[in-house]
Structure 1
Amino acid sequence: MLRWHIEAKPLQLRYTWKISRNSSDIKTNLFIRVADRKHVGIGEAAPNIRYNETAENLTEQFDNLIDHGLELIRSLEDLQILLSLYPPANAIRFAIESAYIHYICQQKGLSVGDFLGINIPASVATSFSLPIMNPETVADFIKTNHLNRFASIKVKVNEEEGLDLIKQVAGVCHRPLIIDANEAWTDPEKLLVFLEKLKQYNIAFVEQPMPASSTDEYVHLHKHSPYNLFADESVTNQIEVEVLKKQFHGVNMKLMKAGGYLNGLRILEQAKAAGLKTMVGCMVETSLGIWSAMQLCEGVYQADLDGFLILKEEPFGIVQELGGRLYMS
């Protein structure tokens, strides 16, 4: 019988992580471990309050799966059935599925790429995300942290200070800027005015500027936005590509929202088949979660996998960043 274990780890951040809807100085992630007497697999869950996930309720969901036979599974097919009968939140589902796949790979001497039947990139260029901060401090922040080594910079913005923040970033950063509003705008016309004011800057694309529920508004934006629009909060564990392609030009797949490697691959494949650009993103995660996301980055348009770089103490050390590129250790 397999032994399963869950552990919560508080992760102190190097600075306050602020986006349009909340801010934090510490994150508590969960780590799932599955083992027999010889082999072990570990997976990570990064709870996201946007989807009503907390360390406490994800732990309860894990315990419920234990009560319903998680320790008795003998195959990935068994696990998929159990997870469909007692569906947990996506983040803990990913941690459980990835832990089991990592366990199987160790048991059989396979790489994750071999198991999934995909090519794994030798390295991945990542953007670096700036949290919302006082615009007057951002220039020093970029210089002090040598952020021009990254191929692109993602700027978290809100409606109130977004333009000032972008102006300050553009003054010291010569890289393309990704604008990430995390659903901050509610009025599409005000948003279009904001986007028009960005034309003097080197903007790569804009990520999820309005709530995921703003279906008709996104159709309007898709027709009139001067920049490509990427879906983030609009992409969870299911996507309706025929709807999304009328609203967005690309999708940001995050394994913590997809709920597993297998579903993450499916989302990327569906998006590509529909002519949407693909992006692999992350939450605030350790290098374990980032390592997992890197497995799916072959051929994607953009990778945003800097979540481990904002941790004060990164516990695994299995991904290294050099010159804005990520390498698996």
Structure 2
Amino acid sequence: MRRLAFRDERWPLRDAFVISRGAKTEAHVVVAEIGEGDHVGRGEAVPYARYGEDVDGVLAEIAAVRAAIETGASRPVLQGLMPAGAARNALDCALWDLEAKQAGARAWTLAGRERLDPVKTCYTLSLDTPEAMAEAARLHARRPMLKLKIGGPDDLDRVAAVRRAAPRTRLIVDANEALGFDDLTRLAPEFARLDVQLVEQPLPAGEDAALEGWASPVPLCADESLHTRAELADCARRYAYVNIKLDKAGGLTEALALAAEARAQGLEVMVGCMVATSLAIAPALLVAQGARVVDLDGPLLLARDREPGLPISGSLIEPPPPALWG
């Protein structure tokens, strides 16, 4: 008989994390633990306020499937029991971890990979004044890629300030749905002039059909417009990249399938995260294998991480130790 335990945890951030929709000073996460015999599998998820999720709701979703989990529901069964979202992510990742421990193998082996390679993550600069963002960029100018948040159509000066402060690093601009189509067509050539590599979710999800047939001078990436494979066909007509996050996809199982199908449809893959501890990031490393862009900097934004955490040197993330996950 399995045992299911779950709880919420709060992890303070090093600095406030600010995007166009608001700010946070802590990562409020949900952890699920599934035990069977001597083995316990763990998964961590972050409720997505953008989609109406909160911690209490995610805990209630997990509680609602307790009987199914404790009587042996498998990962494929879980996909039909729950919708995509943070609750399913926590349970799905916990089941992956449990299966790996029971098999005496690593999770990536169960996923069909011989090894898990290190990945280089970009580092996110929160939305702030141009001067403050430039100072942050100077502090992190040696990183291979920076992602800067913008909050609206008047933020070109922020991008320019970051570029001056970090002239050699690769840049991503993340609008978090804060632009209109006219704003984007005006700004995109300027982003290209500043050597921006990618613009993430410029338009609100549901309003991005305007992108069809438009040749952007900077590649565009779907984030809020993509959850699972159900949205891929629309995204393939509008974007060059898709940002896959386990909390949106509802777990590693769907995220791996989503990445494979995205590539089959000619899309490049970006792998992203919410602000969370290493326990949430470890499963995403499997999806990040071969991804063109990796944004798994959640633990770097915390005042302290889980112990043991992921081995991270600068922007290089090594595979997780077994005591953490997988």
* TM-score normalised to structure 2 length: 0.93
Structure 1 counterpart of 2:102, one-letter code: Q
Q: Deviation at 1:12?
A: 0.9
Matched, 1:267 2:262: no
Structure 2 counterpart of 1:176, one-letter code: R
Q: Deviation at 1:130?
A: 0.7
Q: Deviation at 1:161?
A: 4.6
Matched, 1:165 2:161: no
Q: Is the 8 A contact 1:41 1:102 kept in 2?
A: yes
Query: In 2, distance between residues paired with 1:292 and 1:316?
Result: 16
Percent identity of the aligned residues?
30
1:128-166: CA deviations, max 9, x gaps? 1111011111232233xx412321111110115521111
1:104-131: CA deviations, max 9, x gaps? 1101101111111135432101111111
Q: Is the 8 A contact 1:230 1:249 kept in 2?
A: yes
What residue number does 2:48 align with? 48
Matched, 1:97 2:92: yes
Q: Is the 8 A contact 1:207 1:229 kept in 2?
A: yes
What residue number does 2:147 align with? 154
Q: Is the 8 A contact 1:120 1:296 kept in 2?
A: no
1:72-112: CA deviations, max 9, x gaps? 11x52xx5335524x25511101101101111110110111
SS of the residue aligned with 2:173? strand
Structure 2 counterpart of 1:300, one-letter code: A
Alignment equivalent of 1:84, drawn from 80, 84, 91: 80
SS of the residue aligned with 1:313? coil
What residue number does 1:195 align with? 188
Q: Is the 8 A contact 1:119 1:298 kept in 2?
A: no
Query: In 2, distance between residues paired with 1:319 and 1:124?
Result: 12
Q: Is the 8 A contact 1:120 1:298 kept in 2?
A: no
Matched, 1:183 2:182: no
Structure 2 counterpart of 1:317, one-letter code: P
Query: In 2, distance between residues paired with 1:113 and 1:18?
Result: 33
Q: Deviation at 1:181?
A: 0.3
Query: In 2, distance between residues paired with 1:123 and 1:89?
Result: 27
What residue number does 1:228 align with? 219
Alignment equivalent of 2:246, drawn from 214, 231, 255: 255
Q: Deviation at 1:255?
A: 1.0
What residue number does 1:69 align with? 68
Structure 2 counterpart of 1:80, one-letter code: P
Gap change, CA 1:120 and 1:51, over 3 Å in 2 = farther
- Figure out how many residues of one structure are paired with residues of the other and give that number: 319
What residue number does 1:217 align with? 210
Q: Is the 8 A contact 1:14 1:312 kept in 2?
A: yes
Query: In 1, distance between residues paired with 2:165 and 2:116?
Result: 31
CA RMSD across the alignment: 1.7
Structure 1 counterpart of 2:4, one-letter code: W
Query: In 1, distance between residues paired with 2:273 and 2:4?
Result: 25
What residue number does 1:289 align with? 280
Structure 2 counterpart of 1:101, one-letter code: W
Query: In 2, distance between residues paired with 1:64 and 1:305?
Result: 30
* TM-score normalised to structure 1 length: 0.92
1:250-278: CA deviations, max 9, x gaps? 11111111112221111111110111111
1:49-85: CA deviations, max 9, x gaps? 011111100011111111x432111x52xx5335524
Structure 2 counterpart of 1:180, one-letter code: D
Query: In 2, distance between residues paired with 1:111 and 1:102?
Result: 8
Query: In 1, distance between residues paired with 2:115 and 2:186?
Result: 41
Q: Is the 8 A contact 2:222 2:243 kept in 1?
A: yes
What residue number does 1:243 align with? 234
1:202-241: CA deviations, max 9, x gaps? 2111110001101321215xx2311111111111123343
Query: In 2, distance between residues paired with 1:10 and 1:318?
Result: 16
SS of the residue aligned with 1:227? coil
Gap change, CA 1:107 and 1:219, over 3 Å in 2 = same
What residue number does 1:129 align with? 124
